[in-house]
Copies of this chain bind each other. A is one copy, B any other.
Amino acid sequence: MNSVFEALAHPVRRDILKLLRKRSMSAGELSEHFSIAKPTLSGHFTVLKGADLVTTERQGTTIMYHLNTSAMEDALGAFMSLAGVKRKDD
């Protein structure tokens, strides 16, 4: 769970998650939303993947990034327990 919190610590990575929440995107498509070099963004992808927050799927020459919704739910649960909140529903 530590890797999840570390992944969430960078604003670019949180923005990536927000974008993927709407729909899955390729690395190149995602990169259009940021003004940083692609290798740098690729590093952020690696961090998110290491935290299991996103999954990848190669489609020909492009690589699609998908939000791993269940991992997000797990992270949310961890955060809620940290905040001491009881869940009435999931």
Q: Which residues of chain A (15-55) have a CB below 8 Å from chain B?
A: 17-18, 21
Contact B11 A9 (CB under 8 A): no
> How close is A5's CB to chain B, nearest CB, in angstroms?
5
Instruction: Please classify the interface of chain A as helix (H, G, I), strand (E, B), loop, or mixed, using the class held by over half of its residues.
Output: helix
Which residue in B6, B73, B82 is a CB contact (below 8 Å) of A83? B73
| Count of interface residues, chain A, beta-carbon cutoff 8 Å | 22
> How close is A85's CB to chain B, nearest CB, in angstroms?
6
Contact B5 A8 (CB under 8 A): yes
Interface residues of A (CB under 8 A from B): 2, 5-6, 8-9, 11, 14, 17-18, 21, 72-73, 75-76, 79-80, 82-85, 88-89
